[in-house]
Structure 1
């Protein structure tokens, strides 16, 4: 890209300076940003990267979707700590195959997500790459001092929950790839399934409710598949986790699409990833389900935590079997 084109992209990032939040002293336009967290709060930070052909394909994602999803994946990590997302740093590497208008659309998607989740872009970097596009975002948030929710907080006797249906993103990707192979577009009847992959939602409100309740044990977000995230909790907490197949929430349209192509949607739920629901544990017999219901948020109890060697088990009509750690592999 030319110098003038990089100037255009730097101009687009200045939109973040128009919506300054409290605590930010220096935003975009200097060597670095400066901010101060409110009293009684700690900074929580995460970074995630999306690379063309590894994490997304141009044929399955519009530029706006790429920007939106990249930011949401980071916001989800903040939500999984019970935190509040505040600021973002964006680094983008652009090859000659991407035009300035397409890049602007990527930023449009990021700013759409910023508006939805109350995040302000406060800096970053723009470089050229020889082939694929990459987008790396760091999100900075805040959480009450000493109260961040961790993967290591599960205890025997806890109930296992997930905040919404899982498997939708993997189903949407499968559908989009099938449509690409057939040389067509996704049918109108399945647009909602495609949206699970292209426009996921981070569960910030659910994370904040779990932290405020004081009833949460461990917490994680479903970025690499339900089985993988539960294994992370089991190993960090030193517990055995048992989930029941019939209690795992699956979206109605996802189940319908799975039936139409002869697939088992459970595999998408367990090993697909990028759903960005929250999964974790709560103290048994706690009123957390009622608190979620009163707040208009879904919560599904799907199993229990038991003493024993770290592992994840699935119970169904045929009995109980161990689940492998499999999930989305970023190096596949």
Structure 2
């Protein structure tokens, strides 16, 4: 990191390094600021106030030809809702800022609005304001979301404990597979229509796990939580750093959907599929560290509540603040899908 930070070019910096330039210069204050899925400050009636923001830029985060305006509106809000979910909060409103090129049609804007507000209605939150301006060429979407939660139920990245069990709330890799299909559609002709649709929907219409986050936040045995947005490997690393412990992820235990398995079935590369799932991004599942003596009971009640499995995928141990990927109990090296903003393709 030090070498990159001394570079004169911003294209040499990762997202984490850019954030660190600001975070390392700030003195600590009451509440939680940079370093978690959202900030946490004092809110109304003894509650905690959450606030998070995300920026989506054309040709950096999406290509206009690959996603409908309706789906883009949905996704722009979904990624913000996922941040509130990871903190165990209840979303209560959001702000929208748009920079739009002059050639964009009003029909496109209406469809974007419909996708955005349909998801807002589903989660019973209101659009509270925002801003609009014109851009030179690209669509730029920024959403700032607010939420609230009970003080004792706030879940942070920094509270994982040695001996905890790592769990994830759903399957991994579907969104990254959907992106691959969009980039090379002819390469995956072996997929059925339903398999292709499932993988594309995972990428274009992610389902933020707000209800699951709120339910898990009530559990004292859940020590730390984060949403899986940058990929399981990178997001696990955030917990490792913040909690100052080692996270061990077992590839054989990763939950993979049948559609994702079919995505790799043509070549039969199971090991590569596991590595792709652990490194791929935009799953928007929740990764949590749970007390070992409570995990079985939590899994049982989670299944009763949501009719799905809380998957055990690894453990927390003493050691450097790193993530170790294991296959058959032995460490393997998996390359992160590192994304650098401002890097020209």
Residue in structure 2 matching 1:188, options 183, 187, 193 = 193
Alignment match of 2:224 (pick from 215, 218, 242)? 218
Which of 300, 324, 330 matches 1:290? Answer: 300
- Post-superposition Cα deviations, 1:148-205, rounded to whole Å, max 9, x if no partner, equal 11000101000001000011111001011112x78x9x97241111111011111111
Secondary structure in 1 matching 2:184: helix
* Superposition deviation, residue 39 in structure 1: 1.7
Distance 1:326 1:178 in 2: 18
Aligned to 2:33: none
Q: Where does residue 310 of structure 1 map in the other structure?
A: 321
Q: Residue 13 of structure 1 corresponds to which residue in structure 2?
A: none
Q: Does 1:84 align with 2:90?
A: yes
Q: Provide structure 2 residue ranges, at least 5 long, that are not aligned to the other structure.
A: 1-41
SS in structure 1 opposite 2:176? helix
Structure 1 window deviating more from structure 2 (316-325 vs 95-104): it is 316-325
> Map of 1:243-282 to 2, 5 A cutoff?
243-260=249-266, 264-282=272-290
The answer to whether structure 1 residue 174 and structure 2 residue 180 are counterparts is: yes
The CA RMSD over aligned residues, in Å, is: 2.1
Deviation at 1:288, TM superposition (A): 1.2
Determine if contact 1:163/1:299 at 8 Å carries over to the other structure. yes
CA distance in 1, matches of 2:221, 2:232: 21
Matching residue within 110, 127, 136 for 1:121: 127
Distance 1:59 1:77 in 2: 27
- The reply to whether residue 143 of structure 1 matches residue 145 of structure 2 is no
Q: How far apart are residue 100 of structure 1 and its match?
A: 1.0
Q: Aligned pair 1:48/2:54, yes or no?
A: yes
Preserved contact between residue 250 and residue 329 of structure 2 (Cα < 8 Å): no
Distance 1:331 1:298, change over 3 A: farther
The residue aligned with 1:204 is 210
Q: CA deviation at 1:324?
A: 5.4
Q: List gaps (5 residues or longer) in structure 1.
A: 1-35
CA distance in 2, matches of 1:225, 1:138: 22
